[in-house]
Structure 1
């Protein structure tokens, strides 16, 4: 997995839990300062999320969802790194529907990147996001969706799960209301 995720996850650990969170991240991943352009094993994300779940008393899925919200709506590193992508979207729906192209654009110069893939079904009042990834970070997706709403509307977008890879589906299908 690309280092930007680790850099923001370390930032999140400190934001939510201070020095104790940063130390839990370091112990779980073995990383003192992750490099945004480096590659790290996917298992290190699971280890960090597990450590933060234990620290907070939450389930790993809850930590992933909160991290997703933080990633889009709060992270100074993400705001700086992806400022142009945020500016180029006119609203929450526009940004959501550009997530696949954003992932493709931001990883095309990173050898070995395997970003998630997104397809969309626009139903006017809602968009169904179809998410495919070997990593199956479905709770992170749901947090990202809520974070997009927080960033553009000041409130989380509401969503309804239609299918999930964690429950045997080939892809996650999440209907998002605007």
Structure 2
């Protein structure tokens, strides 16, 4: 079976927001005046790019990975040349320290003064092979060597809504602050 890939304009809603499907289950285009009035909480992914910590939640197959890839490309076009991008798929992780924290791009960021845009896809699938993945991320980022550089780290993470661990949400909010965190 071939996989269909639709190049639809997607809109995202903060977890605390609301979505109105008043027109027989269809979404009014939030780019129109009427659509914005019906769905003021919906935004395009590009409108979230200023958040240092961005979590994309959604159900299986809705296009989280495609959106993350689009965001990566958008980021690469808009960031200054000295900043770096690192994209990793957590479903293939076997060891958090080896796969992320010893990655050459990550180590160079830690030693440097540039910003790193870290894209972590498929947290839900990574949790299947590394049971302590969420707490491992929190515990690792708590370490002093990362805390003094957190203002130069921009995290983008995808996960299925139901699987996203509260401990990770709380930890990431503590690192970046409530105002710098979008979910």
**TM-score of the two chains, using structure 2 as the length reference:** 0.29
The structure having more radius of gyration, on CA atoms, is 2
Higher helix share: 1
TM-score, length-normalised on structure 1? 0.29
